[in-house]
C-alpha cells in the first residue's frame, strides 16, 4: 500500500545554528514517541543545510529532501543546483512546482515537467505540488487548474516513473494563511487527482501514489485531514519549524 508521508518544508527560514538546533530537537522528540511504522518523515531544509541535516541521518527517523532543483542537467547556470548534485548527496526526495516558485519565479508547468524529468533520471522522487489560487476556487475552477498542472507536469511519464512520484495538493489560499481546506475539500480534490492518475495509468498505479495535503496543516487539524481515505499525509510549512508540532503532526496517523 502507499506510504504515509509527513514532509517538512522549511522554505527560506533559519540560520545554520537554528537549523542544527531544530533537527536535534526533532530527533529528541522522535525518540520519545512511537510513530506508525508506515509513516515516513522527510525534512526539506534549504540547500546549504542539506548535508548537516543528512548527517543526523538515520533513515529510521527521517529522510532528507531538497526544496527545488534545476531544470537543466549541468553547466553554466550560476546559482542553480542540479539533480545529479542532489543524487551525489544521496537525497531521496525533492519538492517541485511549489506555488511560491510558480508565483515568484515564474515556474510554468513545462518547467515543472523538466525538473521532474531531471529528478527521475537521477533516482530522486519528486514531490510535485499543485493547487489553485483563491480566485480560481471562487470561480469554481479548482478542478480544471489542478488537472492542468497534473497533466502537463506529469502525464508524459511512463507508469513505472509515475510510481516514484509523490503529489502534494496545496490550495494556495491555505498556504501560510492559517486557513485550512476542510477535510471534505481536501478529500474531494485528492480523490479527483487519484481518479486522473487511474484514468491515465490504471488503478494499481493510482492506489500506490501518495497524495499529500499542504496548507496550514498543524497538530490541531492533522488528524481530521489524514483520516480521509485519499489523504496520505502532509507537506508542512510553518509547523515544520517547531519540533513539537512537526512530530505531533506525524503522530496524527
By CB under 6 A, name the binding residues for ligand PGA. Answer: 9, 170, 175-176, 214-217, 235-239
Dihedral sign, CA of 88, 169, 142, 204? positive
| In the complex, minimum distance from the CB of residue 214 to ligand PGA, in angstroms, rounded to a whole number | 4
DSSP-based three-state secondary structure for 65: strand
| In the complex, minimum distance from the CB of residue 201 to ligand PGA, in angstroms, rounded to a whole number | 25
Q: Which residue has the cell 481515505?
A: 229
- What is the distance of C-alpha 86 from the center of its chain? 16
| In the complex, minimum distance from the CB of residue 210 to ligand PGA, in angstroms, rounded to a whole number | 15
Q: Do residues 42 and 56 make contact, with C-beta atoms less than 8 angstroms apart?
A: no
Residues catalogued as catalytic: 98, 170
Q: What CA–CA distance (Å, rounded) separates 118 from 226?
A: 30
Comparison of 201 and 211: residue with beta carbon closer to ligand PGA: 211
Phi/psi for 108 (5° steps) reads -90, 170
- Tell me which DSSP letter residue 49 carries: G
Q: What CA–CA distance (Å, rounded) separates 44 from 8?
A: 6
Q: Which residue has the cell 492542468?
A: 148
Phi/psi for 243 (5° steps) reads -55, -45
Comparison of 201 and 216: residue with beta carbon closer to ligand PGA: 216
Q: How many CB atoms lie within 10 A of CB 188?
A: 15
Comparison of 24 and 176: residue with beta carbon closer to ligand PGA: 176
Comparison of 116 and 214: residue with beta carbon closer to ligand PGA: 214
Q: Do residues 40 and 5 make contact, with C-beta atoms less than 8 angstroms apart?
A: yes
Closest-approach residue to ligand PGA (CB): 237
Q: Which residue has the cell 474531494?
A: 188
C-alpha cell at 49: 543545510
C-alpha cell at 131: 493547487
Length of the chain, in residues: 253
| In the complex, minimum distance from the CB of residue 134 to ligand PGA, in angstroms, rounded to a whole number | 14
| In the complex, minimum distance from the CB of residue 234 to ligand PGA, in angstroms, rounded to a whole number | 8
| In the complex, minimum distance from the CB of residue 211 to ligand PGA, in angstroms, rounded to a whole number | 14
Amino acid at each position: 500500500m502507499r506510504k504515509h508521508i509527513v514532509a517538512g518544508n522549511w522554505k527560506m527560514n533559519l540560520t545554520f545554528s537554528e537549523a542544527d538546533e531544530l533537527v536535534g530537537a526533532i530527533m529528541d522528540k522522535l525518540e520519545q514517541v512511537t510513530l506508525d511504522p508506515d509513516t515516513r518523515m522527510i525534512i526539506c531544509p534549504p540547500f546549504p543545510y542539506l548535508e548537516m541535516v543528512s548527517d543526523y541521518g538515520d533513515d529510521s527517523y527521517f529522510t532528507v529532501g531538497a526544496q527545488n532543483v534545476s531544470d537543466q542537467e549541468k553547466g553554466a547556470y550560476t546559482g542553480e543546483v542540479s539533480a545529479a548534485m542532489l543524487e551525489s548527496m544521496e537525497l531521496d526526495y525533492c519538492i517541485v512546482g511549489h506555488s511560491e516558485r510558480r508565483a515568484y519565479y515564474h515556474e510554468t508547468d513545462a518547467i515543472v515537467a523538466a525538473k521532474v524529468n531531471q529528478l527521475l533520471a537521477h533516482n530522486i522522487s519528486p514531490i510535485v505540488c499543485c493547487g489553485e489560487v483563491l480566485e480560481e476556487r471562487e470561480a469554481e475552477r479548482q478542478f480544471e487548474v489542478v488537472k492542468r498542472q497534473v497533466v502537463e507536469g506529469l502525464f508524459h511519464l511512463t507508469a513505472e516513473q509515475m510510481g516514484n512520484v509523490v503529489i502534494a495538493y496545496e490550495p494556495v489560499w491555505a498556504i501560510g494563511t492559517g486557513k485550512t481546506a476542510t477535510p471534505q475539500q481536501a478529500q474531494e480534490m485528492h480523490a479527483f487527482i487519484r481518479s486522473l492518475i487511474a484514468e491515465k495509468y490504471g488503478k494499481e498505479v493510482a492506489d500506490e501514489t501518495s497524495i499529500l495535503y499542504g496548507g496550514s496543516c498543524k497538530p490541531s487539524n492533522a488528524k481530521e485531514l489524514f483520516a480521509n481515505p485519499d489523504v496520505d499525509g502532509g507537506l508542512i510549512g510553518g509547523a515544520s519549524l517547531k519540533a513539537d508540532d512537526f512530530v505531533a503532526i506525524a503522530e496524527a496517523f
